[in-house]
A and B are shown apart, each in its own frame.
Chain A
Amino acid sequence: MEIILNNNPDFVETTEKSITVEELLKIKKFSYKLLIVKVNDTLVTKENYPKISVCAGDNVQVIHLMTGG
């Protein structure tokens, strides 16, 4: 499945037509604790990672947040 991930075209290893945000983060090895995830410009909170789907062509942003400021 092809998506846009952080502004770059990206290939996701899956045979499914859609996967959850949670599955996407696992496949792409985003293991950081504190993330901001947007799917098609809508923010997805952590409790919704298992519920929100990502399909081919979707625009996904994953931002790793870090301490400092």
Chain B
Amino acid sequence: MLDYQKIKSILKNHTVGIAGAGGLGSNVAMSLTRVGIGKLIIVDFDVVTESNLNRQFYFKHQVGFKKVDALRANLLSINPDLILETHDTKLDASNILNYFQAVDVMVEAFDRAEMKQIIIEKFQIEKPEIPLVVGNGMAGWGNSNDMRVQQYETLYICGDGVSEVADNLPPIAPRVNICAAMEANVVLSILLNKVTNIKVKP
């Protein structure tokens, strides 16, 4: 039987990498921390700004802080036992694989489409055995039922696949959180399917 204690004990032995600590990354990290993931590796170079607060897991008093530092404080106040490795670094094609060598699942949480392409190509070509969960299309509001998960072998794409961020289609908390929660939910399904006989769809 897979009760929560058993789930927690499984998750405690696993490591998830998160590339980016913005709208997707900070909220995926929050969900995984709450559910009891053993270790997170989070990389982001950016600083918390006022405009982030409409969707990112930061607080007003943290404006001006480095995101990795602010997120560390927030995550450890949920679960002080979380093993958290953070890097205040700008990721690119040349360094991205270096940070995430030892992850069981990789989560893409970038803003720019160019970076999404880079991480998908790097991981799917050089590390295709590591499941990669990507966020693609989450801008605007409403249309909740358009948010879905599509699996392509070890590549999982969460989002509606059409809503690109624009001035008249801003990224805001509800839809961004749906996408982030989907990513975290996919991570859970991957890890629990791997270890138990109870297999669920992502």
Residues of A participating in the B interface, judged by any CB pair closer than 8 Å: 34-36, 38, 41, 43, 45, 61, 63-69
Contacts and interface: CB of A to CB of B under 8 A. Distances in A.
Nearest to A43: B124
Nearest to A6: B150
A65 B116 contact: yes
Given A34-B116, A61-B152, A66 B163 contact: yes
A41 B155 CA distance: 10
Residue of A38, A68, A69 contacting most chain B CB atoms (<10 Å)? A69
21 contacts: A34-B116, A34-B117, A36-B117, A38-B152, A43-B120, A43-B124, A43-B125, A63-B157, A63-B161, A65-B116, A65-B136, A66-B161, A66-B163, A66-B165, A67-B113, A69-B22, A69-B23, A69-B138, A69-B171, A69-B176, A69-B179
Interface residues of B, number: 36
A35 B110 CA distance: 16
B135 interface: yes
B134 to A, nearest CB: 8
Contact of A66 (B23, B113, B121, B152): B113
A64 B159 CA distance: 12
A68 B137 contact: yes
B139 interface: yes
B178 to A, nearest CB: 12
Interface string B146-166: 000000110101010111110
B112 interface: yes
A69 B160 CA distance: 13
Contacts of A67: 111-113, 164-165
B122 to A, nearest CB: 10
A5 B32 CA distance: 34
Given A63-B152, A69-B111, 19 more contacts: A35-B117, A45-B121, A45-B125, A61-B152, A63-B161, A65-B120, A65-B136, A66-B137, A66-B161, A66-B164, A67-B113, A68-B23, A68-B159, A69-B22, A69-B110, A69-B116, A69-B135, A69-B138, A69-B176
